[in-house]
Homo-oligomer: A and B are copies of this chain.
Amino acid sequence: MTDAFRETVAAVRERATPTDQERERLAAATDRLVARVESATADLPVGTDVVRVGSTARGTWLSGDQDIDLFVRFPPDLPREELESLGLEVGHAVLPDGRAEYAEHPYVTGEFEGYDVDLVPCYRVDSATEARSAVDRTPFHTAYVEEAITPELAADVRVLKRFLTACGIYGSDLRTEGFSGYLTELLILELDGFEPLIEAVADWHPPVELDPAEHGSRAFDDPLVVIDPTDPERNVAAVLSSTNLARFQHHARALLAEPAIERFEPAEPDPLDGATLESHLERRGTTPLALRVPAPDLVDDQLYPQLGKSRLSLAGELDRRGFPVIRSAAFANDHAVLLIELANDELPAIERHAGPPVAVGEHASAFYEKYEAGDAYGPFVDGGRYIVEREREYTTARDCLEGELFSVALGPAVENALEDGYDLLAGDGLAALLPEFEVELARYYDPSP
Protein backbone atom coordinates (compact mmCIF):
# COMPACT_ATOMS: atom_id res chain seq x y z
CA MET A 1 0.00 0.00 0.00
CA THR A 2 1.27 3.46 -0.87
CA ASP A 3 2.20 6.05 1.69
CA ALA A 4 -0.21 8.45 -0.01
CA PHE A 5 -3.11 6.09 0.62
CA ARG A 6 -2.22 5.70 4.29
CA GLU A 7 -1.69 9.39 4.79
CA THR A 8 -5.04 10.14 3.20
CA VAL A 9 -6.85 7.61 5.34
CA ALA A 10 -5.12 8.89 8.47
CA ALA A 11 -6.25 12.43 7.70
CA VAL A 12 -9.83 11.31 7.13
CA ARG A 13 -9.78 9.28 10.32
CA GLU A 14 -8.59 12.32 12.19
CA ARG A 15 -11.50 14.39 10.94
CA ALA A 16 -14.15 11.71 11.40
CA THR A 17 -13.25 10.72 14.94
CA PRO A 18 -15.32 12.47 17.58
CA THR A 19 -13.29 14.46 20.10
CA ASP A 20 -13.10 13.40 23.72
CA GLN A 21 -15.31 16.36 24.51
CA GLU A 22 -17.94 15.18 21.97
CA ARG A 23 -17.87 11.71 23.46
CA GLU A 24 -18.25 12.92 27.00
CA ARG A 25 -21.05 15.28 26.13
CA LEU A 26 -22.87 12.55 24.23
CA ALA A 27 -22.40 10.04 27.05
CA ALA A 28 -23.76 12.44 29.64
CA ALA A 29 -26.74 13.44 27.54
CA THR A 30 -27.52 9.79 26.77
CA ASP A 31 -27.37 8.90 30.49
CA ARG A 32 -29.84 11.66 31.30
CA LEU A 33 -32.11 10.61 28.47
CA VAL A 34 -32.06 6.96 29.55
CA ALA A 35 -32.97 8.08 33.09
CA ARG A 36 -35.94 9.96 31.73
CA VAL A 37 -37.12 6.96 29.77
CA GLU A 38 -36.73 4.74 32.81
CA SER A 39 -38.77 7.08 34.92
CA ALA A 40 -41.43 7.36 32.20
CA THR A 41 -41.70 3.58 32.01
CA ALA A 42 -41.54 2.87 35.77
CA ASP A 43 -45.30 2.96 36.24
CA LEU A 44 -46.28 1.05 33.11
CA PRO A 45 -48.35 -2.11 33.68
CA VAL A 46 -45.67 -4.15 31.88
CA GLY A 47 -41.93 -4.57 32.45
CA THR A 48 -39.61 -2.75 30.00
CA ASP A 49 -35.96 -1.98 29.59
CA VAL A 50 -34.05 0.61 27.56
CA VAL A 51 -31.34 -0.25 25.05
CA ARG A 52 -28.88 2.14 23.44
CA VAL A 53 -28.55 1.25 19.74
CA GLY A 54 -27.19 2.84 16.57
CA SER A 55 -23.73 4.12 15.77
CA THR A 56 -23.44 6.23 18.91
CA ALA A 57 -23.99 3.12 21.02
CA ARG A 58 -21.48 1.17 18.91
CA GLY A 59 -18.85 3.89 18.98
CA THR A 60 -18.86 4.14 15.21
CA TRP A 61 -20.53 7.50 14.79
CA LEU A 62 -18.98 10.30 12.81
CA SER A 63 -17.70 13.42 14.44
CA GLY A 64 -20.44 16.01 14.14
CA ASP A 65 -23.28 13.48 14.08
CA GLN A 66 -25.90 14.33 16.67
CA ASP A 67 -28.07 11.21 16.84
CA ILE A 68 -29.17 9.22 19.86
CA ASP A 69 -31.29 6.12 19.24
CA LEU A 70 -32.95 4.45 22.21
CA PHE A 71 -35.13 1.36 21.98
CA VAL A 72 -37.70 0.60 24.67
CA ARG A 73 -38.20 -3.15 24.86
CA PHE A 74 -41.57 -4.62 25.79
CA PRO A 75 -42.47 -8.23 26.68
CA PRO A 76 -43.00 -10.38 23.57
CA ASP A 77 -46.50 -11.44 24.64
CA LEU A 78 -47.79 -7.85 24.59
CA PRO A 79 -50.37 -7.39 21.81
CA ARG A 80 -49.03 -5.26 18.98
CA GLU A 81 -51.61 -2.51 19.41
CA GLU A 82 -50.67 -2.07 23.05
CA LEU A 83 -46.99 -1.99 22.21
CA GLU A 84 -47.66 0.79 19.76
CA SER A 85 -49.84 2.88 22.07
CA LEU A 86 -47.57 2.42 25.10
CA GLY A 87 -44.54 3.15 22.92
CA LEU A 88 -45.99 6.43 21.71
CA GLU A 89 -47.09 7.32 25.23
CA VAL A 90 -43.56 6.86 26.57
CA GLY A 91 -42.11 8.73 23.60
CA HIS A 92 -44.31 11.75 24.10
CA ALA A 93 -43.63 11.74 27.86
CA VAL A 94 -39.85 11.77 27.28
CA LEU A 95 -39.91 14.17 24.32
CA PRO A 96 -42.82 16.54 24.90
CA ASP A 97 -42.08 18.40 21.66
CA GLY A 98 -41.46 15.23 19.68
CA ARG A 99 -43.67 13.89 16.92
CA ALA A 100 -44.81 10.40 15.98
CA GLU A 101 -43.36 8.84 12.82
CA TYR A 102 -44.83 5.81 11.15
CA ALA A 103 -42.24 3.61 9.50
CA GLU A 104 -42.76 -0.16 9.76
CA HIS A 105 -44.30 0.72 13.13
CA PRO A 106 -44.74 3.97 15.04
CA TYR A 107 -42.05 5.70 17.08
CA VAL A 108 -41.37 9.18 18.41
CA THR A 109 -38.65 11.48 17.16
CA GLY A 110 -37.62 14.75 18.79
CA GLU A 111 -34.83 16.82 20.24
CA PHE A 112 -33.01 16.48 23.54
CA GLU A 113 -30.15 18.76 24.62
CA GLY A 114 -29.35 19.49 20.96
CA TYR A 115 -29.34 15.82 19.87
CA ASP A 116 -31.74 14.26 17.38
CA VAL A 117 -33.43 11.47 19.29
CA ASP A 118 -35.43 8.48 18.07
CA LEU A 119 -37.39 6.62 20.76
CA VAL A 120 -38.48 3.31 19.30
CA PRO A 121 -40.64 0.66 21.02
CA CYS A 122 -39.78 -2.95 20.19
CA TYR A 123 -40.20 -6.50 21.50
CA ARG A 124 -37.64 -8.06 23.84
CA VAL A 125 -37.23 -11.28 21.84
CA ASP A 126 -34.67 -13.95 22.71
CA SER A 127 -32.77 -13.80 19.42
CA ALA A 128 -32.75 -11.85 16.18
CA THR A 129 -34.32 -14.77 14.33
CA GLU A 130 -37.44 -14.34 16.43
CA ALA A 131 -37.82 -10.70 15.46
CA ARG A 132 -41.40 -9.74 14.67
CA SER A 133 -40.29 -6.64 12.81
CA ALA A 134 -36.98 -5.21 11.64
CA VAL A 135 -36.57 -3.02 14.74
CA ASP A 136 -36.56 -6.03 17.06
CA ARG A 137 -33.30 -7.06 15.45
CA THR A 138 -31.49 -3.80 16.04
CA PRO A 139 -30.50 -4.43 19.67
CA PHE A 140 -28.86 -7.69 18.59
CA HIS A 141 -26.90 -5.90 15.87
CA THR A 142 -25.69 -3.36 18.39
CA ALA A 143 -24.70 -6.06 20.87
CA TYR A 144 -22.80 -7.99 18.15
CA VAL A 145 -20.84 -4.97 16.97
CA GLU A 146 -20.14 -3.65 20.48
CA GLU A 147 -18.70 -7.04 21.37
CA ALA A 148 -16.58 -7.44 18.25
CA ILE A 149 -15.28 -3.97 17.50
CA THR A 150 -11.99 -2.39 18.57
CA PRO A 151 -11.32 1.36 18.68
CA GLU A 152 -9.05 0.97 15.65
CA LEU A 153 -11.75 -0.76 13.62
CA ALA A 154 -14.39 1.69 14.83
CA ALA A 155 -12.23 4.46 13.39
CA ASP A 156 -12.08 2.56 10.09
CA VAL A 157 -15.88 2.23 10.10
CA ARG A 158 -16.02 6.01 10.27
CA VAL A 159 -13.61 6.31 7.36
CA LEU A 160 -15.71 3.90 5.30
CA LYS A 161 -18.92 5.76 6.11
CA ARG A 162 -17.34 9.01 4.93
CA PHE A 163 -16.16 7.32 1.78
CA LEU A 164 -19.54 5.75 0.97
CA THR A 165 -21.26 9.06 1.70
CA ALA A 166 -18.94 10.86 -0.70
CA CYS A 167 -19.73 8.20 -3.35
CA GLY A 168 -23.46 8.76 -2.79
CA ILE A 169 -24.06 5.16 -1.73
CA TYR A 170 -24.34 5.36 2.04
CA GLY A 171 -27.81 4.55 3.27
CA SER A 172 -30.05 1.51 3.07
CA ASP A 173 -33.20 3.52 2.39
CA LEU A 174 -34.96 2.63 -0.85
CA ARG A 175 -34.02 5.89 -2.49
CA THR A 176 -30.29 5.34 -2.01
CA GLU A 177 -30.22 1.51 -2.24
CA GLY A 178 -26.78 1.64 -0.65
CA PHE A 179 -24.96 0.47 2.48
CA SER A 180 -26.48 0.54 5.97
CA GLY A 181 -24.40 1.46 9.00
CA TYR A 182 -24.55 -2.13 10.21
CA LEU A 183 -23.37 -3.41 6.82
CA THR A 184 -20.49 -0.95 6.94
CA GLU A 185 -19.51 -2.26 10.36
CA LEU A 186 -19.72 -5.89 9.29
CA LEU A 187 -17.55 -5.24 6.22
CA ILE A 188 -14.83 -3.55 8.30
CA LEU A 189 -14.97 -6.36 10.87
CA GLU A 190 -14.90 -9.14 8.28
CA LEU A 191 -12.13 -7.67 6.12
CA ASP A 192 -10.27 -6.39 9.19
CA GLY A 193 -10.08 -2.71 8.36
CA PHE A 194 -10.60 -0.08 5.67
CA GLU A 195 -7.42 -0.69 3.72
CA PRO A 196 -7.84 -4.46 3.24
CA LEU A 197 -11.53 -3.92 2.47
CA ILE A 198 -10.81 -1.42 -0.29
CA GLU A 199 -8.15 -3.70 -1.75
CA ALA A 200 -10.58 -6.63 -1.73
CA VAL A 201 -13.48 -4.66 -3.18
CA ALA A 202 -11.38 -3.48 -6.11
CA ASP A 203 -11.02 -7.12 -7.18
CA TRP A 204 -14.47 -8.47 -6.30
CA HIS A 205 -16.39 -10.42 -8.90
CA PRO A 206 -20.04 -10.25 -7.86
CA PRO A 207 -21.89 -12.16 -6.63
CA VAL A 208 -19.73 -11.94 -3.50
CA GLU A 209 -20.78 -13.76 -0.35
CA LEU A 210 -19.47 -13.10 3.17
CA ASP A 211 -20.66 -15.06 6.18
CA PRO A 212 -18.89 -13.73 9.29
CA ALA A 213 -20.60 -16.22 11.62
CA GLU A 214 -20.31 -19.09 9.15
CA HIS A 215 -23.92 -20.04 9.66
CA GLY A 216 -25.69 -18.99 6.41
CA SER A 217 -28.57 -21.35 5.77
CA ARG A 218 -30.08 -20.25 2.49
CA ALA A 219 -29.15 -18.93 -0.95
CA PHE A 220 -29.59 -15.31 -2.04
CA ASP A 221 -29.81 -13.81 -5.47
CA ASP A 222 -28.17 -10.48 -4.56
CA PRO A 223 -24.88 -9.14 -5.96
CA LEU A 224 -23.46 -8.80 -2.43
CA VAL A 225 -24.48 -11.19 0.31
CA VAL A 226 -23.40 -10.56 3.89
CA ILE A 227 -25.11 -13.09 6.14
CA ASP A 228 -26.29 -11.43 9.33
CA PRO A 229 -24.23 -12.86 12.23
CA THR A 230 -27.37 -12.60 14.37
CA ASP A 231 -29.70 -14.25 11.80
CA PRO A 232 -28.57 -16.96 9.35
CA GLU A 233 -31.57 -16.31 7.08
CA ARG A 234 -30.93 -12.65 6.43
CA ASN A 235 -28.71 -10.83 3.90
CA VAL A 236 -27.66 -7.53 5.47
CA ALA A 237 -26.85 -6.20 1.97
CA ALA A 238 -30.25 -7.10 0.46
CA VAL A 239 -31.09 -3.48 -0.37
CA LEU A 240 -27.78 -2.74 -2.13
CA SER A 241 -28.28 -2.48 -5.89
CA SER A 242 -25.85 -3.96 -8.37
CA THR A 243 -25.26 -0.46 -9.71
CA ASN A 244 -24.21 0.79 -6.29
CA LEU A 245 -21.97 -2.18 -5.67
CA ALA A 246 -20.28 -1.45 -9.00
CA ARG A 247 -19.93 2.20 -8.02
CA PHE A 248 -18.24 1.11 -4.79
CA GLN A 249 -15.82 -0.97 -6.84
CA HIS A 250 -15.14 1.92 -9.18
CA HIS A 251 -14.42 4.34 -6.35
CA ALA A 252 -12.33 1.78 -4.47
CA ARG A 253 -10.09 1.43 -7.51
CA ALA A 254 -9.94 5.18 -8.02
CA LEU A 255 -8.94 5.65 -4.38
CA LEU A 256 -6.18 3.07 -4.70
CA ALA A 257 -4.92 4.63 -7.92
CA GLU A 258 -5.04 8.24 -6.74
CA PRO A 259 -5.65 8.63 -3.03
CA ALA A 260 -6.97 12.08 -2.16
CA ILE A 261 -8.90 13.53 0.71
CA GLU A 262 -11.42 14.97 -1.79
CA ARG A 263 -12.59 11.43 -2.45
CA PHE A 264 -14.09 11.47 1.03
CA GLU A 265 -16.03 14.67 0.50
CA PRO A 266 -19.40 14.73 -1.25
CA ALA A 267 -19.35 16.87 -4.39
CA GLU A 268 -22.56 18.77 -4.96
CA PRO A 269 -22.81 19.79 -8.62
CA ASP A 270 -23.40 23.36 -9.66
CA PRO A 271 -27.14 23.79 -10.25
CA LEU A 272 -28.08 23.68 -13.93
CA ASP A 273 -29.20 26.94 -15.49
CA GLY A 274 -31.52 27.37 -18.45
CA ALA A 275 -28.78 28.18 -20.95
CA THR A 276 -26.78 25.09 -20.03
CA LEU A 277 -29.89 22.95 -20.26
CA GLU A 278 -30.58 24.30 -23.72
CA SER A 279 -27.05 23.57 -24.87
CA HIS A 280 -27.33 19.97 -23.65
CA LEU A 281 -30.65 19.51 -25.41
CA GLU A 282 -29.14 20.80 -28.61
CA ARG A 283 -25.93 18.84 -28.33
CA ARG A 284 -27.70 15.56 -27.61
CA GLY A 285 -30.39 15.93 -30.27
CA THR A 286 -32.56 13.39 -28.47
CA THR A 287 -36.26 13.39 -27.61
CA PRO A 288 -36.66 13.90 -23.85
CA LEU A 289 -40.16 13.55 -22.44
CA ALA A 290 -40.96 14.39 -18.82
CA LEU A 291 -44.15 13.63 -16.93
CA ARG A 292 -44.63 15.95 -13.98
CA VAL A 293 -47.17 15.58 -11.16
CA PRO A 294 -47.46 17.04 -7.66
CA ALA A 295 -45.34 14.71 -5.51
CA PRO A 296 -47.50 12.00 -3.90
CA ASP A 297 -47.55 12.36 -0.10
CA LEU A 298 -45.44 9.32 0.75
CA VAL A 299 -42.26 8.69 2.72
CA ASP A 300 -39.17 8.30 0.51
CA ASP A 301 -39.04 4.56 1.16
CA GLN A 302 -42.41 4.24 -0.56
CA LEU A 303 -42.18 7.05 -3.08
CA TYR A 304 -38.87 6.16 -4.75
CA PRO A 305 -39.64 2.49 -5.40
CA GLN A 306 -42.95 3.55 -6.95
CA LEU A 307 -41.25 6.13 -9.12
CA GLY A 308 -38.61 3.59 -10.13
CA LYS A 309 -41.19 0.98 -11.08
CA SER A 310 -43.24 3.50 -13.06
CA ARG A 311 -40.18 4.79 -14.88
CA LEU A 312 -39.00 1.31 -15.89
CA SER A 313 -42.48 0.23 -17.01
CA LEU A 314 -42.93 3.25 -19.23
CA ALA A 315 -39.40 3.11 -20.62
CA GLY A 316 -39.85 -0.60 -21.36
CA GLU A 317 -43.13 0.01 -23.15
CA LEU A 318 -41.69 2.78 -25.31
CA ASP A 319 -38.71 0.60 -26.15
CA ARG A 320 -40.92 -2.35 -27.12
CA ARG A 321 -42.92 -0.07 -29.38
CA GLY A 322 -39.88 1.03 -31.33
CA PHE A 323 -38.72 4.07 -29.38
CA PRO A 324 -35.32 3.11 -27.95
CA VAL A 325 -34.51 4.70 -24.61
CA ILE A 326 -31.21 6.56 -24.21
CA ARG A 327 -31.68 7.09 -20.47
CA SER A 328 -34.43 7.58 -17.92
CA ALA A 329 -34.58 9.05 -14.44
CA ALA A 330 -37.04 9.91 -11.69
CA PHE A 331 -36.85 12.96 -9.44
CA ALA A 332 -38.95 14.09 -6.50
CA ASN A 333 -39.30 17.34 -4.67
CA ASP A 334 -42.53 19.37 -4.56
CA HIS A 335 -43.24 17.63 -7.83
CA ALA A 336 -42.42 14.13 -8.92
CA VAL A 337 -40.93 13.77 -12.39
CA LEU A 338 -40.45 10.80 -14.69
CA LEU A 339 -37.92 11.72 -17.36
CA ILE A 340 -37.53 9.42 -20.36
CA GLU A 341 -35.05 10.36 -23.04
CA LEU A 342 -35.60 8.69 -26.40
CA ALA A 343 -33.58 8.29 -29.56
CA ASN A 344 -36.45 9.06 -31.96
CA ASP A 345 -39.55 11.16 -31.82
CA GLU A 346 -41.13 9.66 -34.92
CA LEU A 347 -41.53 6.30 -36.58
CA PRO A 348 -43.01 5.33 -39.95
CA ALA A 349 -46.66 4.45 -40.47
CA ILE A 350 -45.98 0.71 -40.62
CA GLU A 351 -44.17 -1.72 -38.34
CA ARG A 352 -42.85 -5.20 -38.89
CA HIS A 353 -44.76 -7.65 -36.73
CA ALA A 354 -43.69 -11.28 -36.43
CA GLY A 355 -46.37 -13.91 -35.91
CA PRO A 356 -46.01 -17.51 -34.79
CA PRO A 357 -43.96 -20.11 -36.67
CA VAL A 358 -46.03 -21.46 -39.54
CA ALA A 359 -45.54 -24.94 -38.05
CA VAL A 360 -47.62 -24.24 -34.94
CA GLY A 361 -50.86 -25.19 -36.66
CA GLU A 362 -54.02 -23.52 -35.39
CA HIS A 363 -52.17 -20.65 -33.79
CA ALA A 364 -50.46 -19.88 -37.07
CA SER A 365 -53.63 -20.25 -39.10
CA ALA A 366 -55.50 -17.87 -36.78
CA PHE A 367 -52.74 -15.28 -37.23
CA TYR A 368 -52.82 -15.72 -40.99
CA GLU A 369 -56.59 -15.38 -41.20
CA LYS A 370 -56.64 -12.34 -38.92
CA TYR A 371 -54.23 -10.37 -41.09
CA GLU A 372 -55.13 -11.77 -44.49
CA ALA A 373 -58.49 -10.05 -44.23
CA GLY A 374 -57.04 -6.68 -43.17
CA ASP A 375 -55.00 -4.17 -45.10
CA ALA A 376 -51.58 -4.96 -43.65
CA TYR A 377 -48.75 -5.92 -45.99
CA GLY A 378 -48.56 -9.71 -45.95
CA PRO A 379 -48.77 -12.10 -44.19
CA PHE A 380 -45.68 -13.49 -45.82
CA VAL A 381 -43.13 -15.98 -44.51
CA ASP A 382 -39.63 -15.21 -43.26
CA GLY A 383 -37.44 -17.66 -41.37
CA GLY A 384 -40.35 -20.02 -40.86
CA ARG A 385 -42.67 -17.41 -39.30
CA TYR A 386 -45.57 -15.42 -40.59
CA ILE A 387 -44.70 -11.72 -40.83
CA VAL A 388 -46.95 -8.75 -41.44
CA GLU A 389 -46.17 -5.10 -41.89
CA ARG A 390 -49.11 -3.50 -40.19
CA GLU A 391 -50.14 0.01 -39.35
CA ARG A 392 -48.21 1.21 -36.31
CA GLU A 393 -50.42 2.20 -33.40
CA TYR A 394 -48.29 5.20 -32.43
CA THR A 395 -46.01 7.04 -34.79
CA THR A 396 -44.80 9.60 -32.25
CA ALA A 397 -43.15 8.97 -28.91
CA ARG A 398 -45.45 11.45 -27.25
CA ASP A 399 -48.61 9.70 -28.46
CA CYS A 400 -47.17 6.39 -27.40
CA LEU A 401 -46.35 7.63 -23.89
CA GLU A 402 -49.74 9.20 -23.40
CA GLY A 403 -51.62 6.37 -25.06
CA GLU A 404 -50.00 3.64 -22.95
CA LEU A 405 -49.63 5.60 -19.71
CA PHE A 406 -52.23 3.64 -17.81
CA SER A 407 -51.73 0.31 -19.56
CA VAL A 408 -48.38 -0.37 -17.84
CA ALA A 409 -47.62 -1.28 -14.23
CA LEU A 410 -47.22 2.01 -12.35
CA GLY A 411 -46.72 2.54 -8.64
CA PRO A 412 -50.26 3.03 -7.21
CA ALA A 413 -49.64 6.51 -5.79
CA VAL A 414 -47.94 7.57 -9.02
CA GLU A 415 -50.88 6.23 -11.00
CA ASN A 416 -53.31 8.20 -8.82
CA ALA A 417 -51.31 11.36 -9.24
CA LEU A 418 -51.17 10.93 -13.03
CA GLU A 419 -54.90 10.31 -13.13
CA ASP A 420 -55.41 13.64 -11.39
CA GLY A 421 -53.57 15.35 -14.21
CA TYR A 422 -49.98 15.82 -15.33
CA ASP A 423 -47.75 18.07 -17.37
CA LEU A 424 -46.01 16.47 -20.32
CA LEU A 425 -42.85 18.42 -21.02
CA ALA A 426 -40.89 17.76 -24.20
CA GLY A 427 -37.67 19.15 -25.66
CA ASP A 428 -37.19 22.80 -24.66
CA GLY A 429 -40.20 22.41 -22.40
CA LEU A 430 -37.83 20.76 -19.90
CA ALA A 431 -36.89 24.28 -18.86
CA ALA A 432 -40.06 24.20 -16.75
CA LEU A 433 -38.25 21.76 -14.42
CA LEU A 434 -35.89 24.57 -13.37
CA PRO A 435 -35.14 25.71 -10.76
CA GLU A 436 -36.94 22.96 -8.81
CA PHE A 437 -34.75 20.20 -10.22
CA GLU A 438 -31.65 22.23 -11.01
CA VAL A 439 -29.43 19.90 -8.97
CA GLU A 440 -30.98 16.67 -10.25
CA LEU A 441 -30.70 17.85 -13.85
CA ALA A 442 -27.15 19.01 -13.28
CA ARG A 443 -26.33 15.45 -12.22
CA TYR A 444 -28.31 14.02 -15.13
CA TYR A 445 -26.32 16.01 -17.67
CA ASP A 446 -22.98 15.43 -15.98
CA PRO A 447 -23.30 11.80 -14.94
CA SER A 448 -20.45 10.14 -13.10
CA PRO A 449 -19.95 6.83 -11.32
Q: Name A residues whose Cβ lies closer than 8 Å to a Cβ of B.
A: 203-206, 223, 242-243, 245-247, 249-250, 253, 283-287, 322, 324, 326-327, 343-344, 346-352, 357-361, 365, 368, 377-386, 389, 395, 445-449
Q: A223-B384, A250-B368, A381-B449 are in contact. Are A283 and B349 (CB under 8 A)?
A: yes
Q: A358-B250, A361-B203, A389-B327 are in contact. Are A242 and B447 (CB under 8 A)?
A: no
Main secondary structure of the interface of A (DSSP, over half): mixed
Complex-state Cα separation, A344 to B383, whole angstroms: 23
Q: A380-B447, A381-B449 are in contact. Are A359 and B246 (CB under 8 A)?
A: yes
Interchain nearest-CB distance for A287 vs B (Å): 7
**17 A–B contacts from the bound complex (CB under 8 Å):** A246-B358, A246-B359, A247-B381, A249-B359, A253-B365, A283-B350, A284-B348, A284-B377, A284-B389, A285-B348, A285-B350, A286-B348, A322-B324, A322-B343, A326-B348, A378-B447, A380-B449
Tell me the nearest residue of chain B to A202, going by C-beta: B361
CB-based contact B447/A284 at 8 Å: no
Q: A206-B384, A284-B389, A384-B242 are in contact. Are A352 and B327 (CB under 8 A)?
A: yes
Q: Closest 7 A-B residue pairs measured CB to CB?
A: A285-B348, A380-B447, A246-B358, A285-B349, A242-B384, A286-B348, A246-B384
Tell me the nearest residue of chain B to A375, going by C-beta: B283
Which residues of B lie under 8 Å from residue A223 when comparing CB positions? 384
Complex-state Cα separation, A359 to B248, whole angstroms: 10
CB-based contact B326/A350 at 8 Å: yes
CB-based contact A242/B352 at 8 Å: no
Which residues of B lie under 8 Å from residue A447 when comparing CB positions? 377-378, 380
CB-based contact A204/B359 at 8 Å: yes
CB-based contact B246/A385 at 8 Å: yes
CB-based contact A380/B344 at 8 Å: no
CB-based contact A347/B343 at 8 Å: yes
CB-based contact B285/A245 at 8 Å: no
Complex-state Cα separation, A204 to B368, whole angstroms: 17
Which residues of B lie under 8 Å from residue A352 when comparing CB positions? 326-327
CB-based contact A383/B242 at 8 Å: yes
Of B243, B344, B448, which one neighbours A378 at CB under 8 angstroms? B448
Which residues of B lie under 8 Å from residue A245 when comparing CB positions? 384
Apart from A250-B358, A286-B348, A326-B352, list 13 A-B contacts with CB within 8 A. Answer: A206-B384, A246-B358, A246-B381, A247-B381, A249-B359, A253-B365, A343-B351, A344-B344, A344-B346, A344-B348, A377-B445, A377-B446, A380-B448
